[in-house]
Structure formats: structure tokens, C-alpha cells
Amino acid sequence: MPGQDASYARPDGQQGSFEAVPGQAPARAPRTPLPTPGQQAAFGRPDTVQGSFAGDRPAPPQRRLPPPPPETVLRAFAPAPGASGLQDPPGGRPGRRRTASGPWWKADAPSDPWRDPASAASLGPPAVYDEEAQDGPIVVDGAGRRRVRVRDLSVRLSVLVLLAVVLVGAIGGGVGWFLTRTAGESPLHRSTQLSAVSPGVTRRPGSVADIAARVMPAVVSIEVRVGNSGDTGSGVVVDGKNGYIVTNNHVISAAAGVDGAEIRAIFSDGSGSPARIVGRDPASDVAVIKVEKPGLVTASLGESKKLVVGDPVVAIGSPLGLAGTVTSGIVSALNRPVRLSGEGSDTNAVISAVQTDAPINPGNSGGALVDATGAVIGINTAMLAAGGSGNSGGATGLGFAIPIDTVRAVAEELISTGKAVHATLGVNTRSVTDGSRDGALVLNVEPNGPGAKAGIREQDVVIAVNDKAVGSSEELQVAVDAHKPGDTVTLEVVRNGSSTRIQATLATA
């Protein structure tokens, strides 16, 4: 064609686009396989559409190519004519050095695709951490953790560490050996003075120590000897001027009316004195003895009717023969009906006792139970035994004392007349219950007694005295004993399923 370079013209006598290469078969266009019916249905042109794409399809946005770099940038960073990739540094390629700063320390550096900006990008296999191929003692495992490989540690470093450990051990052992050789043993005996507490102990008024110090001189131990046997108990001085001492009947009853029997009172200062029986009352378990010794300390007597449950109390006596023993506790119950039957004595009493958890043991009988002011509010008499009240085999925290109001009245009668007077209803009873109400069942009635005169019959059940409920035989006896002979009381009695009221005048027991 006119105007074209002769280098691009077809040689004369040749037909076709290009001259066939000798020895090479003419290239064939690749055959495209026909689409399947499914492909035709999915990707074929609809019958109503002409052309490659629908006419309403928006034209794709035209890509704006970035402007060519400035000529100065090309001159500075473009490769030299006829070269590609990284160029040699000025001055030629440096020598082969295994350093991180030398870019050409590997022979295949020019062909490294990571160094050739013109190399094509491709996705290769994941990185493989070959611990064997890593140099140095610190390697990186597959999880990216750095760890020390002991077998690659320097021999010199290992030797230095071993020598350091040996040196430190040798120095420590030498110092210990030297100190043990130079430190001599201290003398076994020497004169010394131990430290003492400088401030004194404060014992406030009302403390157990204060109460014991004030009441102890008024409490005595009582020794009873009858033939070759003996027993011990306690007592409280109620009249120091005349030598009167209150105790329990069961403590001294064995010596009553027995020739050769001896009763002796031992005081807090260790001195002793013979004692005589002034009077005793088996119905209340109260007795009074007398010693001929002037100047005795008299105990202060309080009022048991003012006690409330929870008041602190202190018991003082000679349990098990241990004179001057002090125990403490509280009032755990009031007006507790307790039947007393002193072993080996004629005691047969029912008292409205003060119950306490202050430990009371055999030998405490007749001793003092005092309140926080140091006043005697009861005379210790019994502890609860396994089978009931008594003085042996007791349960912990269950002790009983005769209220001082009762003791005072009986002691005054014994000192005045030698005997005490009690009221009686003239009936014998036992405790019963029908499941809903408790009472005292009348077993027999004394002929011509107060009960018989009032119309009480056998099988009657007494459930109240002067509108105060009676729930047992002991409670009935305590309620009657709270009155004097000649007093009239109103009894509520259940007879044949119905309740009736009966008035009875009490007689002397």
C-alpha cells in the first residue's frame, strides 16, 4: 500500500497474511464447543433482544487512567534502556558478603521475584517454619512463638553457667561452715530476770471475782461423820453473831439423833468448829445448825421473787469436798417444781426451785447461790440426775436451788421453835393428762382431812388452785405449800367430764 513502510509489505509472489514457517504446520483456530441446552437456556440471548446487551443497560463507567509520571521521576527511577528489574548499585556490584545491608549477597538476587518490581504477582503456598533450617538458639515455631533450642546453645555459655552455679554453692557452703565453727554455744545456766506485766488486773464491782471475795467468808464446808462413814456439804452463815448456819436437811439428817455422830463446820480461813442441829425440815429440805464461834461473817440475803430468767448468778460451795469452789451461770428458769428425795435421808420435799446452769455437784448442797450484788437468792440443793432430781449422775447445766424467800421463812421457824409448819390439803395425787389438759389425779383422800371436808373425791382431777393452773402433782403440792394452815383456797376439779369449783380450808401438815 502506498505510504507504508516497505518492511511491512508482502513479498512478491506470496499469498496470505504471513509466510508459513518451514517445517511447522499451519496454526489452527481453537474449536469452541457448542453450548448445551442448559447453558443455552441460562446464558443465551432472549428471542426479543437484539445485540449483545439490552439497550437500557447503563454504560459502564469509563476508567480514568492516572497521568504519566513527571519526566524527572522517570529519569530518577526508571530502569536503564534495555534493562528491567533492579539495577546494580553505582560503582558496580559489591563483593559477596553475608550481611543484611548488602542487597546482592545472594547469587540469585537479580532473579528474586521479591526484588523485581516487574515480576508478576501470584499466590504461593503457606510459609513453612523449618526449625532445623533456622540458625541460632532462638527459633520460631508454627504458632509464631519464640523459644530457645537448648541444643544450639553455645558450649562456652553452658560452661560459664555451670561454673557460676558451682562458685555460688562453694561460697555459700564456705560461709556456713565458717559461721558454725566460730559461733560458740551459749551457757546453759545464767542469772536472769523475766519480764512482768506492769499494769494490775482490774476487777470491777459486780464481777465474779468481786462477788466471790465478799461472799466466800460467809460460806462454810460441813463435814458429817457417823461411825466409820462420812459425807460433806456446804452451808451459809445467816446469823454470824449467834453462829446460825443454814444448810440442807439431807446434808445433816444422817447425824440427827445418832449417838457419836459429829458435825463440823470448816470456815474459809481453814479453822473449824463443832456444830449442833438447831432444827431441820424434811418437807422443804432446809436445816439450821449452830456453832460456838464469835465474829462470823454474815451473808446478805436477797429476794428471790425479784429474779428474772437470765440474771447472772454465782454458786459457792464445796463440791466433791473441794472447799471454796466458785462457779457461775445464769438463772435459766423460775418456779420449777422439783421433787427432792435425798438418798439416805428422810427428805421428801417438793420445792418451787430456781433453775440455774451454774455447775452444781455433790457437795454444793447447802451452799449459796448469789446474784450480781452478792446477795444470796437461793440455797443450792440438787442437780438433775439421769432418772430425775438427785445428787449423783447429774446432767450438765441443770441445777436447782431453794428460793431464799422460802429458806428465810423456814429458817426463822426452825431457829424460833425447832420445827417448821406447812399447810396440807389431805389428799394424795399423781400427775395425769388427757392430751389436751394436765392435772393432779386424786388417788385417795384422808378421812376428816381438809379435802374430805371440802367434798373432794377419789378420781377427781385438780386442774387449778385459786385460778392458777395446776399441771402435775408437784405443782399442786407447791401451790398448797405456798399458803399457811387455816387459809381457804378455791380448787377447780374435773369430775365425770365436767368442771366444778370447791373451796377447802387447809390444815397443818
Phi, psi angles (nearest 5°) of residue 264: -135, 135
How many angstroms separate the CA atoms of 367 and 390, rounded?
A: 16
Q: Which helix (H) or strand (E) holds 43?
A: helix 37-43
Q: Which of 281, 285, 371, 460 is catalytic?
A: 285
Q: Could you give the 3-state DSSP secondary structure of residue 293?
A: coil
Nearest CA-CA partner of 463 in 502, 424, 426: 502
How many angstroms separate the CA atoms of 17 and 10, rounded?
A: 8
365 is catalytic: yes
Contacts of 294 (CB under 8 A, 6+ apart): 241, 243
What is the three-state SS of 128-197?
CCCCCCCCCCEEECCCCCEEECHHHCCHHHHHHHHHHHHHHHHHHHHHHHHHHHHCCCCCCCCCCCCCCC
How many angstroms separate the CA atoms of 420 and 406, rounded?
A: 11
Q: Which of 221, 231, 234, 250 is catalytic?
A: 250
DSSP structure string for 298-323: PPPB--GGG--TT-EEEEEE-GGG-T
Bridge partner list, 274: 264
Phi, psi angles (nearest 5°) of residue 308: -130, 155
285 is catalytic: yes
Nearest CA-CA partner of 255 in 235, 237, 275, 285: 275
Q: Could you give the 3-state DSSP secondary structure of residue 229?
A: strand
Q: Which of 234, 253, 365, 472 is catalytic?
A: 365
Residue type, 452: A
Residues noted as catalytic? 250, 285, 365
